[in-house]
Structures are given as structure tokens and as C-alpha cells.
Amino acid sequence: MLELLVTGPDRRVGGRLIPTRVAVVTGLIFVIAGLVKFVFHHWELHAFRSFGLPWPSAMEIVAGVFETVGGVLLIVRRAVLPVTVVLAVTMVVAIVSSGIGNGDVIPSLTLAPALLLAVGYLFAVAVRCAPPTL
């Protein structure tokens, strides 16, 4: 983990204008969404309970940590490939449980799909530009 913070941005995304901008903007949105889960804990916990997810209190905290830390890592373009996988799973859960299952149009059927597309794009860029393995 320390190596991720000491080394420079992920070469697969850093240094390229569009992927860098997508990573930074997407990361900022995830940081804000993650922090909301802590700042407005009671409101978010009520929402998580209404989604019918198991262990809503724990799931809210886990989602908040994943979104905040993942967003920061995207902003600094570190560990892009694993971060996009984790955040994509988080967005799929949001779309299915909150959007489809609970009918929440905003943000679960608007912002969440957009974020899913953004992390999908970053995943594709990272995979396409991955260094060859021996």
C-alpha cells in the first residue's frame, strides 16, 4: 500500500488527457458521495435500511469508505485497475438495490449509471494499456 502512495500516478492513466480528467472528476464525485455517508449518517442509514440490504449500518460504512478512499485513489491515479473494479461493484449494488429495487431515480438511476460508465471506461483504459506479464 505504501508503494502506491510513493510512486507516481498509474502510467496507464496518468499523462493522458482524457483518462486523467475522467479519473479526477469521477474521483471527486466518489469522494463527495462517500463523505455524505458519514456527514449525513442518520439519513443515509435510513436509506440503506429501506433498500433491504443485509447489515445496513455496516454496509453504509463500507460503502462510504470504499467510495471515499477509491475516489481519492482515482484523483491521484493510483491503483486504477483494482479501484475501478471495487467502485463498479458499488455502483451496480446502488443501481439494483436503490434504483431498481427502491425506485430512487436520483442518484441511483442517473448518477450511479454515469459513474459506472466512467469507471468502466477507466478499467478499459487500464486493461488496454497494462504492461505485458512474463
Task: Give residue-wise pLDDT tens across range 23-33.
Answer: 999 999 999 99
pLDDT higher for 80 or 52?
80
Distance CA 39, CA 48 (A): 15
Average pLDDT, the chain: 84
The C-alpha cell at 15 is: 499523462
User: What percent of the chain has a predicted confidence (pLDDT) above 90?
Assistant: 48
User: What percent of the chain has a predicted confidence (pLDDT) above 70?
Assistant: 81
Contacts for 114 with CB less than 8 Å, ≥ 6 apart:
none
pTM: 0.84
> Is the per-residue pLDDT at 65 higher than 80?
yes
Tell me, what's the pLDDT at 89? 96
Locate the DSSP E strands across 11-133.
none
Of 75-79, 115-119, 121-125, 127-131, the range with the lowest mean pLDDT is 127-131
Question: What is the dihedral sign for C-alpha 68, 69, 70, 74?
Answer: positive
Q: Exposed, middle or buried: residue 103 (CB in 10 Å: 0-12, 13-18, 19+)?
A: exposed
Task: Report residue 131's pLDDT band, with 50, 70 and 90 as the boundaries.
Answer: low
Distance CA 102, CA 121 (A): 27
